[in-house]
Structures are given as C-alpha cells and as structure tokens.
Amino acid sequence: MRTLAALTMSLAMAAGAQERPGWKLVWSEEFDKGKMPDPTVWNYEFGYVRNNEKQFYTYKRSENVRIENGMLVIEGRKEQFKNPRFDPESTEWQRAEFAEYTSGSINTHHKKFWQYGRIEVRAKIPAGMGLWPAIWMMGESKHWPDCGEIDIMEHVGKEPLNIYATIHWPSANDTKYTSKGTHVKNPTPAATYDDFHIYAIEWDEKKIVIFYDDKPYLTYDVSLADQPDGSNPFRQPHYLLLNLAIGGNWGGPNIDSTKFPAKYYIDYIRVYEKAKQ
C-alpha cells in the first residue's frame, strides 16, 4: 500500500510534469481511466476511409483501440475481417468482402477543438514497412481542403529515419490545395522507434511552429492561407485525429507482415494556452 507521503509526492510530480513556463494547461487526456477512449471526447472512423489504404478502421473494437497501462493503444492487425459495407456492385473500396488488415482511427470532431495554443502529444510509434502512424488536426467547419490540415506528425515505415510535418490549405488559384512540409531525420531507426517522443505545435494567429522533442523544425506563416473572401482556415478551430494507417498512397504497396500486431502508443495529449503576463 502506498503511503500518503508517497502518493502526495507522486501527484506533485505528475502536476509538475504538466507545467510549462509561459503556458497554462487548459485540457489534457492522460488515458488513465477506463478500458476504452472517453466517448464524450472521441469519435471513431469506420471502414475504408482514404488514400487507398489497406486497413479497415473498426468501431469501438478493443483489439484495435483500447486503454492499457495508462496509455492509448492503436493496434494494426493482419487478419481477415468481414466488411459490413461490402457491395459487389461497387467500384469503390466497399467491393472488398474481407479486409486483410484492421486498425483504429479516432478524433475529437465536434467534441473537443481548439484555436491557437500549444498542443502536444507524447507517443511511441511502431516500426515496419507499410505502417503509417499520424497525429494531425483539421478545421471544424468546411470540407477538406477548405478546412485546412495540420500534420503534426506522420511517419512511413519505408523511411525509418524520417518524421514529417506538413501544412495543407486551399489554394487561391486554380489548383485544389497547397502544401508546405519538411522532416526531421533521426540518426538511427532506434532513435525513431525505441522510445517515446513529444510531437507538438505552437499556434497563434500569425504562425504555426511544429516541434519534435521541443526542437522546432517547421514554421508556417498563417497569412499564406488567406483566401479571397477574407477567411483563413488556420484562424478557425481545429480538432485532433490519431490513427495508424497501413499501406496506401504514401505508406506504399509493400507491407511487412512480420510486424503485426503493430502497436502505436499514445501516453498523453496536453493543450496549453499562453499564460497571461
């Protein structure tokens, strides 16, 4: 049994870990309660969703999304899974009667959303050819690309050293959208996979800065997304998405079947606003 002194010290350490000079914590998700994500905060994507990816996103299925040992686990699995949306007449993804892979994708759309501040996620990503974990945000209103997209972290297993950050926004000209992105290159695959890292943005009405372990590596001028009607997708609230994709347009056609089940761990999410001077 833990003594009162030990418990007090533990709570103080946890509170201290959430403090950040110049910032005030306004919301956090520590994934330390229950067995599944809080339904008042999290939605699930379902089915084959985008990018010609190979996974079927399941709904409230603990094999793919669950809370375990104080962390969110998103698990990609190689398994035959019957597609409840199977349509033999369809020329789209619904045509597949069985999926070869399952995984999870959750988001806070219409439940939790933010405009400006620091959003940080501590996570450990899985290794393997064909795996594509991501942490990203999209605007609450409008459809893509008009809503804007902030990719805080994307990683594709075929590039084991690289961590990507990208901003997508609607073009003011004839093209559909415009992007700005870059990547951090780790020295070894172990530096990418063997530990947790902090993926974060600091965002205000003028700029978005994306960080990897508190090191900024992408700075974006928000005015680049100004639209002819005076709107700007990055001066609007955005919600958060967490997912583990498999294959697809960027993940690639080659998938290492020996890496399954593939587990993507999210320790916490913390949202801060600038502290008042």
Catalytic center residues: 149, 154
Chain centre distance of CA 86: 28
Is the torsion defined by CA of 6, 11, 14, 19 positive or negative?
negative
Size (the chain), residues: 277
At which residue do the structure tokens 């594709």 appear? Answer: 156
DSSP 8-state assignment for residue 257? G
Is the torsion defined by CA of 56, 57, 61, 67 positive or negative?
positive
Comparing CA positions, the residue from 115, 53, 112 lying closest to residue 246 is: 53
For 47, what's the count of Cα atoms within 13 Å in the CB-facing half-sphere? 13
Angstrom distances, CA of residue 129 to CA of 109, 151, 197: 30, 20, 20
Residue 207: which region, alpha, beta or left (left: phi > 0; alpha: psi -120 to 50)? beta
Cis peptide before 261 (omega within 30 of 0): yes
Cis peptide before 216 (omega within 30 of 0): no
Q: What are phi and psi of 42, to 5 degrees?
A: -115, 135
Q: What are phi and psi of 65, to 5 degrees?
A: -140, 130
| Euclidean distance between CA atoms 125 and 240, whole angstroms | 17
